[in-house]
Each structure stands twice: as C-alpha cells, then as structure tokens.
Amino acid sequence: MSARKHAFPPVVDEHTRVLVLGSLPGERSLAEQRYYAHPQNQFWRLISAAAGRDIAALDYDARLAALIEARIGLWDVVASAERKGSTDAAIREPEVRDIAALAASLPELRAIAFNGGTALKHGLRQLGQNASRFATIALSSSSALHTVPMAEKLPQWQRISDYLT
C-alpha cells in the first residue's frame, strides 16, 4: 500500500470571509510543503481573479499573506489518506477534517468554496446541517488533471469575490 499522506494546517484568521477547501495536496505540494505547488495547477491564477490582485506573481509566503489580506482562507477536507500519486480518485481510507468546527470558529465567514468534486462531496458531508449557515460554491477543480480550460473555470471562481466585501 502507498504511504499515508498528510494535509497542511489551515490558512485563516478571524476576518476570513470565504474558505476555499481542496481535497488533499498532491505529490508536488507535499514535497514542497506548499499549497498548490505544481506549476500547472491553476489555483493561484484563479484565486488571483477572485481576489482582484495578482497573487500568483508573489512568492509563497506573500501569497498566503495576500490570501489573508483578501479575507480568503485555505484548507483541505481530508486530513490524511492512503494515496498513490496525486489523483483524488486514488484516495483511500481518508481521515476527514472537522470543517464544521473550523467554520464555526470564523466569525466573519460567509461562504465555503469547494475546489473540485471530491472536496465538495467530502466537505458537504462533513458540514452536514451546518452547510445551510453559509453560501456554498462548487468550483471546477484547479488541478491540471481537470482539463476544463481556465476560461471556463474563471466565472465560477470569480463568484468568490461576491462574499469578500
């Protein structure tokens, strides 16, 4: 069996208004210990459009600071899992996060956005009845493995900006 993969801590503060949830970091992200490290992943370009600022052009620490400044939080729905490779389809034996507890700890949270179908499926299940307390946004995955052109993903991702002010 493949090694157990572990996700990263949340990137949030008390002013977070939108929480973007992924599934589980891919191999490149795990190796570099950075969210969305693979250069072909479109996350940083898509979130830049939502934030109204070129976050993708910044170094990693500045990217995280820019997210916080824009009131955007970042986390994953799976805390750890067995997985060979980087695909969500290969996730086995997931240990899930307590999304409801994190959401309850964020007093200004207005929306939760799910980066891809796996994040949406696990995240809504984890939120349960608490899901109705927030707007939920289903996003096309930013992964390079999800071959929808960025231009088609962009309108969904730009909906995040509706909840930031």
Catalytic residues, by residue number, are 41
DSSP state of 11: B
Three-state DSSP class for 52? coil
What is d(CA 134, CA 94) in angstroms, rounded to the nearest whole number?
A: 24
**Partners of 80 in the beta sheet?**
6, 95
Query: Is the Cα torsion angle 124, 129, 130, 134 positive or negative in sign?
Result: positive
Three-state DSSP class for 165? coil
Q: Which residues contact 150 (CB under 8 A, 6 or more apart)?
A: 42, 45, 46
